[in-house]
Each structure stands twice: as C-alpha cells, then as structure tokens.
Structure 1
Amino acid sequence: MTTGIEDYGRRFGQAVAAELRAARGRKDITLEALAEMVGLSRSAATNYLKGRREIPMSTFLALCRALDVSPREVFQAAQDAIEQ
C-alpha cells in the first residue's frame, strides 16, 4: 500500500519525465544524441524519460541543460500536469 505522498511523488516523477520528453521533441533531439550529451546509455535515458526510474538530481540538471530548459519550468509544468 502506498501513502499519499508516495503516490504524489510517483506521479510527479512521471510528469517530470513527460515534460523532459516533450522538451526533447521540441528540440528535435534524438534519444541517442541526448543520452550522449549527458553521458548516459540509451537504455538509462529511455528509463528516465519514460518514468520507469527516478532521475537523480545531477542527471535531471544535465538533461535540462542539454535540452535548454530551466529546471523550474520542468517542475512547474509537472506540477500543473498532476493538478489537472
């Protein structure tokens, strides 16, 4: 059984991943190119961007830099998405 905060954390993490995927699409960057830019394997990048694994903060920041998006924008978009 998950608590409310665990459920919120899971949904927030998935919303962050979705926003990073959207940013990748807007920048028209392949998954392979993004993974290389931040020093990840393709499978790790896939797992992070599909919300299958929690994104470590250092990796999140590297992804934001590579995608030229501010962490605040990503967090705000994720928050907005789960509040709908």
Structure 2
Amino acid sequence: MSREPTRAAILIRESRKRAGLTQQALAEKLGITTSAVCNYESGASFPKAEMVFGLCDILDLTPRDLFECE
C-alpha cells in the first residue's frame, strides 16, 4: 500500500529541486544515505530534530516551514 506524501515531504522535494540538488547530492551534504532523503520526500519518515537544521540551511527553509506542514 503506497502512502501519499505529506506536505512536509512535498516541501522538501520541491525545495531540493529548486536548489538544483539531486537526492544523492543532498544526502552527501547532510552525511546521510540517499535512502533517507527518499524517505523524507515520500513521507515514509520525517527528519530527526538534529537533521532538520542542516536540511533547512541547505534548502533555505526554516524549521517552522517544515513543522507547520505536519
């Protein structure tokens, strides 16, 4: 059964694309696996608190942007 992406997942994916990054490039910048980025973008998981700050910095978002989506 497939899940619909959350609003936060869609925001992460759109922001990554707007930044001109592949999932692999974003994963490398964050020091995580490409699978983790894929999970964030599909809504299968949400980034842990310590990861949110790096993600927001790279994607020019605020933590509030992400948490208000959930």
TM-score by length of 1: 0.66
The superposition leaves residues 11-70 of structure 1 with CA deviations (integer Å, 9 ceiling, x where unpaired) of 9x8211111111111111111110000111111111112111132111122111111222
1:74 and 2:66 correspond: yes
Amino acid at match of 1:74: L
Residue 30 (structure 1) aligned to one of 22, 41, 44: 22
Amino acid at match of 1:37: K
1:48 and 2:40 correspond: yes
Segments of 5+ residues of structure 2 without an aligned counterpart are none
Higher alpha-carbon Rg: 1
TM-score by length of 2: 0.77
Q: Which runs of 4+ in 1 moved over 4 A?
A: none
Q: Which has the higher helix share?
A: 1
Percent of aligned pairs with the same residue?
A: 33
Segments of 5+ residues of structure 1 without an aligned counterpart are 1-10, 80-84
